[in-house]
Amino acid sequence: MKTAIVTGASSGLGRELARQIEDVFPDIECYWLIARRAEQLESLAISLPGKTTICISLDLCDPMSFITLQERLAAEKPEISLLVNCAGCGFLGRMGEVDTASQTRMVDLNVRALTAITNIVIPYMPEGAHILNVSSIASFCPNPRMTVYSSTKAYVSSFTVGLGEELRRRSVSVTAVCPGPMATEFLSLAGITGHSSTFEFLPYCDQVKVAGGALRAAKAGRTIYTPKLFYKFFRVLAKLTPSQLLVKFVKT
Kind and range of the H or E run holding 116: helix 114-121
**Total number of residues shown for the chain:** 252
Which amino acid, 214?
Answer: A
- Which pLDDT value is given to residue 203? 85
Intra-chain end-to-end CA distance of the chain, in Å:
45
Contact 31, 52 (CB under 8 A): yes
**183-239 residue pLDDT tens:** 877 766 766 765 556 666 788 899 999 999 999 999 999 999 999 999 999 999 999
**136-185 residue pLDDT tens:** 999 999 999 999 999 999 999 999 999 999 999 999 999 999 999 888 77
Name, in order, each residue with C-beta under 8 angstroms of 109's C-beta and a sequence gap of 6 or more.
60, 61, 87, 88, 89
pTM: 0.94
Return the ∠ at Cα 14 (arms to 121 and 86), rounded to 5°: 45
Kind and range of the H or E run holding 237: helix 229-240
**Which residues in 199-218 are b (16+ Cβ under 10 Å) and which e?**
beebeebebeebbbbbbebb
Between CA 22 and CA 169 the distance in angstroms is 27
Strand-pair category, 130-134 with 79-85? parallel
